[in-house]
Amino acid sequence: MPMSNDTAKHDSSFIVRIWWEHSESDAQTGHWRGWIQHVRNGKQIYFASLADLNAFIEAETGMHPANDTVPPGLG
């Protein structure tokens, strides 16, 4: 049975890569960076925060948290 466009849009796969970038001045400090790619359409971005990661996934799936709240652990 074929999936409707609505179902297909909400059923998505992503490839995510996250790494730690050290500060140039101090090897003990730094920040997380990442890259995400939507498998089906190939769209990809680099991100520096979980908010950016979450926004990309929401934009690609059309799904947004109820009441504009961020799910636990993604804030």
State pLDDT tens for residues 14-55.
999 999 888 777 767 888 899 999 999 999 999 998 889 999
Q: Report the DSSP beta bridge partners of residue 17.
A: 35
Count how many Cα atoms sit within 13 Å of the Cα of residue 7 in the half-sphere of its side chain. 4
pLDDT at 67: 65
Q: Which residue has the higher pLDDT, 66 or 49?
A: 49
**Model's pTM, two decimal places?**
0.66
pLDDT at 28: 75
> Do 57 and 74 meet the contact criterion of CB atoms below 8 Å apart?
no
Tokens linked to 28: 């003990």
pLDDT at 68: 58
pLDDT at 6: 52
